[in-house]
Every structure is written in C-alpha cells, then in structure tokens.
Amino acid sequence: DIQMTQSPSSLSASVGDRVTITCRASQGISNYLAWFQQKPGKAPKSLIYAAYSLQSGVPSKFSGSGSGTDFTLTISSLQPEDVATYFCQQYDTYPRTFGQGTKVEIK
Amino acid sequence: EVQLVESGGGLVQPGASLRLSCAASGFTFSSYAMSWVRQAPGKGLEWVSGISGSGDDTYYADSVKGRFTTSRDNSKSTLYLQMNSLRAEDTAVYYCAKDGDEWLANAFDFWGQGTMVTVSS
C-alpha cells in the first residue's frame, strides 16, 4: 500500500498568515492527489483534486501543487473559518490511502 | 444540489451484522462511482470500499475484505454497505462519498454527513 505522510501534524498561525501543509507519498502517484478539509464535528469537504485543481465553489485562497511524491496545500491568508484538519489522499492505486491529517489552529 | 444521506448506523454487539445505506440525489447516480470512508473516534480517515457506477467493479480495504460487501441499486439511487462479523475496531463514523467519474479513477467531490456505528458488548 502507498503510505501518505503529512507534515506538520498540527500548526498554529495568525490570521492573515500564509500556511503550507506538505504531503509525501511513499511512491510516485503522478498527480492523483486530493485534499480535504474537515471542520470539528463535521463531515469532510473536498477542496482540491489532481494535485492543484480546485473543486467547484472552493475559494481561491486554497491552492495545491506538486507531482510524483511531494505535494503541498497552501492557504494564502488564514482566516478563522479555516480552522480545521486537512487530509491528503492518493487515488492512483487501490487501496486509496489518506495522510494522517494536519490540524490548523489560530494563534 | 448533490445530497448524500447515510443511515443504518447504531450500537451492535461484536459478531453482529449491520447494513448501512446512502441515499443520493441531485445527480445521475449510475454515472458515478461511490465509496465508503470511515473515521474512528478521534482518528483520521480510512478508505473502506469503492464501487463503480455500474456496480460491476468493487474494491475493499484489507481490514474489511471478506466481511463487508458494497452494493448499489441504481434504480433507487442508493449505495449500501453490508457489514458482517463486526469487531470493536469497526467502531467509527461511516461516510459515503461520490467519485468524480464512473470508473473509480477520480477523486471524491461530495461527502455525506456520516452515520455512527458502535460495536460493543
């Protein structure tokens, strides 16, 4: 199975900060990488697919990049409504696997 | 508007069976693959199973293979997860998720709100 490793596991940043989360795959997955946001007590929400394509309705402050084994999710200007846990997932190979999550908080 | 509504969760004893349902609306159900994803209390997300739009192809995580069966009734726009021989470690919120295409080759684009399954004596 492909292992997905996110870093950091948690972060605390100020409102307006640029935040970057990384996700590394244990083997190449081309660009078959998705990002999800899960707010406390809620279901996950799809943010990005194909490493950098925004799902419909997702604000442009979210962006993704990367290919192969190394990927990033960036929030350009952190806002209180962005407090959540963010997960990456590879869909190149079954079983689909998720990263362990990155919890984002406001400092 | 896409809606996915899970149901069927509850408290069951180890070894028991349970069937979850996911009622879909707002899109042509048969044209999209669907998946089940679970989340144990306080833990991360775990992909459980996927099924193609036609229902001809299914995939399972090793942790549930042989115990869980995913199926769909395209005439009812409903996805199912039959769970047998349940174990304590199956305790989780179970989400259904819609794939971006018919063939289990694209990312999830919509999620349901989840249904809680608790396996305990």
pLDDT in tens, chain A (107 residues): 999 999 999 999 999 999 999 999 999 999 999 999 999 999 999 999 999 999 999 999 999 999 999 999 999 999 999 999 999 999 999 999 999 999 999 99
Q: Which chain A residues have a beta carbon less than 8 Å from that of B100?
A: 49
> Could you tell me the pLDDT band of residue B104, with boundaries at 50, 70 and 90?
confident
Q: Which of A50, A95, A98 lies closest to B44 in CB terms? A: A98
**Whole-number Å distance between alpha carbons of A96 and B61:** 8
A95–B61 CB contact, under 8 Å: yes
Three-state secondary structure call for residue A79: coil
**Whole-number Å distance between alpha carbons of B24 and B5:** 7
Q: How many CB atoms lie within 10 A of CB A15?
A: 11
pLDDT(B103) > 90: no
Minimal-distance CA residue of chain A relative to B103: A91
**Whole-number Å distance between alpha carbons of B46 and B89:** 12
What is the predicted pLDDT for the residue at A100?
98
**In the sheet that B3-7 helps form, which strands lie side by side, from edge to edge?**
B3-7, B18-25, B78-83, B68-73
Minimal-distance CA residue of chain B relative to A6: B44
Can you tell me the mean pLDDT for B12-30?
98
**Whole-number Å distance between alpha carbons of B6 and A27:** 34
